[in-house]
A and B are shown apart, each in its own frame.
Chain A
Amino acid sequence: MTEFFMGLGLSYEWAWGIATICGILLIAFPLMLGVAMIIYADRKIWAAMALRKGPNVVGPLGLLQSFADGLKVFLQETIIPSAANKGLFLIAPIITFTVALMAWAVIPFNSGAVLANINVGLLYVLAISSLGVYGVVIAGWSSNSKYPFFSAMRASAQMISYEVSIGFILICVVLWAGTFNLKDIVEAQRDHVWLINGFVANPLLFPMWVMFLISGMAETARAPFDLTEAESELVAGYQTEYSSMAFALYWLGEYANVLLMCALNAVLFWGGYLPPLDIPVLYLVPGVVWLLLKILFFFFIFSWVKATVPRYRYDQLMRLGWKVFLPVSLLFVFLVSGYLMATRYGV
């Protein structure tokens, strides 16, 4: 895109700047629209599994429900508790929302379509997703209220626990792909096993994908790991004191994070923008369509799990993270590196 703006007679710096801003808007606006529609889809799927109709009044088939909700929330009064730490109370939702958008910068949408094609793309995603916990923790502390505070404690412990195993899972992927660049990771999955594009067909990496999916649910605090907002114990968790747009920012940020996890599943294990099979005719469909289909598929799995699985107890959550996922992922780091040493690099 930089070349296009340079063609208009701008200097390189200006052209690059304008191209980057256009790129950011090109990702952020469809993402926001996508989040609005995915909230609708989530509610529809959830309703269908509970044999209900779900949102069906606003607009055709209830398609405009999210926008109606957004308008309602926008017109509400912003309530700031008098005992709250005002500055931090207002910054917290902004952090959550911003961080949820930032990680999308390195996701490759097609072979040439990535905003920041950096060498340490995967580490960048890991760094940004580890920032997500601050929005929750600051909200819990600055609300100066019991239940949000408990929620913040839970969130910080939970996210750190699952980040450890996610780190080991990603190491397995990086070892196999030989790079941290997300686009190169996708390219490394081309024709991986019997024409299948994707590490998921690899027997050593398939268990890693299953663990990544589950850890992703825990990392984004989705059901069945939504202990940070367990309504039976903590009212609404860290969001208890929030209203109006601040609440909406949490809502949007949460779903943007879920979509990001779905995109990471697709990019790291299911071949990202590549078609499922390495057959020429499938490449006629644009890569971004394949990526979108994969994201939607994983989002369906997330909704499905939310609708069917009961919430974990807190000690069970910790047990799963530290006593099951951590040793198993460590074992697979050992197995994968051992296999690669024996076959690819030679001992």
Chain B
Amino acid sequence: MIQVFAFYLFATLCIFSGAVTILARNPVHSVLWLILAFFNAAGLMVLVGAEFIAMLLVIVYVGAVAVLFLFVVMMLDIDFAELRAGFVKNFPLGLALAAVLFVELFVGLIVRGAGSVALGKADGASAQAADASNIEAIGALLYSRYLFLFEAAGIVLLVAMIGAIVLTHRQRSDTRGQNISKQNARRPEEATVNLQPEVGKGVQI
């Protein structure tokens, strides 16, 4: 009973907030609705027993990616007139995209009606028995059967990260950075001098 209620709650909120993400005029509101959509999707994951994926969804997408979205979007200077002007220009493109998606959905429904692809049924028969926890099961798969793909994905991400750093890094010669170890290594003897100058005489530094 409670599962059904929770499912419909999460699913409705997820679809609703997904729709509002597109419909909201203000980009910041869009990002916040997107976060709500992520959150409800995580709730759905918990309901099907994929707690690890749910937590990763929240940590990675809500906790990091959406914060960066928000970071960028918050600094935008929103001009509503300009947004509407772009709407007319991009309308045909959007319409074409919608048509393609609709056709794909339609084809998908026909294929499903034909019943040719034998996917697992939702009766738990094809699912693994729940004697291992989520993390152990995923780990065992990732590090055995999908080891190559896993490591390849890691290398792709590493290269992307290095690429981003190389592209944005610049050496500035006009600013003086702080060298903390040098500061800490400095002793009073080399930084100060104790003099007792005579009256009327200056001090040579």
Please give the residue numbers on chain A whose beta carbons come within 8 Å of chain B beta carbons, in ascending order.
13, 17, 88, 118-120, 123-124, 126-127, 130-131, 133-134, 137-138, 141, 149, 152-153, 156-157, 159-160, 163, 180, 315-316, 319
A137→B180 CA distance, assembly (Å): 31
B115 to chain A, nearest CB (A): 36
A259→B133 CA distance, assembly (Å): 30
Specify which of A120, A149, A319 is in contact with B134 (CB 8 Å cutoff): A120
B58 touching A131, Cβ below 8 Å? yes
A-contact bits for B23-43, CB 8 A (1 contact / 0 none): 000001100100100000000
B104-121 at interface with A (beta carbon < 8 Å): none
A156→B62 CA distance, assembly (Å): 12
A120 touching B51, Cβ below 8 Å? yes
Q: Interface-forming stretch among B64-72, B87-95, B143-151?
A: B64-72
Q: Provided the pairs A13-B1, A119-B134 are in contact, do residues A130 and B74 lie with their beta carbons within 8 angstroms?
A: no
Specify which of B55, B64, B71 is in contact with A120 (CB 8 Å cutoff): B55
B64 touching A130, Cβ below 8 Å? yes
B59 touching A126, Cβ below 8 Å? yes
What 8 A-B pairs have minimum CB-CB distances, sorted nearest first? A130-B63, A123-B55, A127-B58, A119-B133, A127-B59, A120-B55, A120-B51, A141-B74
* List of B residues within 8 angstroms of A152 by Cβ: 74
* List of B residues within 8 angstroms of A153 by Cβ: 71, 74
B51 touching A119, Cβ below 8 Å? yes
Is residue B101 within 8 Å, beta carbon to beta carbon, of the partner chain? no
Is residue B167 within 8 Å, beta carbon to beta carbon, of the partner chain? no
B58 touching A156, Cβ below 8 Å? no
- Chain B interface size, as a band, is 20 to 34
Q: Provided the pairs A127-B58, A131-B58, A156-B67 are in contact, do residues A138 and B178 lie with their beta carbons within 8 angstroms?
A: no
B31 to chain A, nearest CB (A): 10
* List of A residues within 8 angstroms of B55 by Cβ: 120, 123-124, 126-127
A123 touching B52, Cβ below 8 Å? yes
B74 touching A119, Cβ below 8 Å? no
Is residue B166 within 8 Å, beta carbon to beta carbon, of the partner chain? no
* List of B residues within 8 angstroms of A138 by Cβ: 32
A130 touching B70, Cβ below 8 Å? no
B63 touching A131, Cβ below 8 Å? yes
Is residue B56 within 8 Å, beta carbon to beta carbon, of the partner chain? yes
Q: Provided the pairs A13-B1, A88-B32, A180-B135 are in contact, do residues A127 and B62 lie with their beta carbons within 8 angstroms?
A: yes
Q: Which residue of A lies closest to B64 (CB)?
A: A160
Is residue B2 within 8 Å, beta carbon to beta carbon, of the partner chain? yes
A330 to chain B, nearest CB (A): 13
The main secondary structure of chain B at its interface with chain A is helix
* List of A residues within 8 angstroms of B133 by Cβ: 119
Please give the residue numbers on chain B whose beta carbons come within 8 Å of chain A beta carbons, in ascending order.
1-2, 28-29, 32, 35, 51-52, 55-56, 58-59, 62-64, 67-68, 70-71, 74, 133-135, 178, 180
A341→B97 CA distance, assembly (Å): 51
B67 touching A123, Cβ below 8 Å? no
Among A17, A123, A159, max chain B CB count under 10 A is at A123
A137 touching B74, Cβ below 8 Å? yes
B95 to chain A, nearest CB (A): 32
B71 touching A130, Cβ below 8 Å? no
Q: Provided the pairs A120-B52, A137-B67, A152-B74 are in contact, do residues A130 and B59 lie with their beta carbons within 8 angstroms?
A: yes
A134→B66 CA distance, assembly (Å): 10
A161 to chain B, nearest CB (A): 11
Q: Which residue of B lies closest to A138 (CB)?
A: B32
A88→B29 CA distance, assembly (Å): 9
A88→B2 CA distance, assembly (Å): 30
A126→B56 CA distance, assembly (Å): 10
Q: Provided the pairs A119-B135, A124-B55, A141-B28 are in contact, do residues A133 and B67 lie with their beta carbons within 8 angstroms?
A: yes
A118 touching B63, Cβ below 8 Å? no
A149→B51 CA distance, assembly (Å): 35
A292→B28 CA distance, assembly (Å): 41
A160→B71 CA distance, assembly (Å): 11
* List of B residues within 8 angstroms of A120 by Cβ: 51-52, 55, 134-135
What are 18 A-B contacts with C-beta separation under 8 Å?
Answer: A118-B51, A119-B51, A123-B55, A130-B59, A130-B63, A133-B63, A134-B35, A134-B67, A137-B70, A137-B74, A138-B32, A141-B28, A152-B74, A153-B71, A156-B70, A160-B68, A163-B63, A180-B135
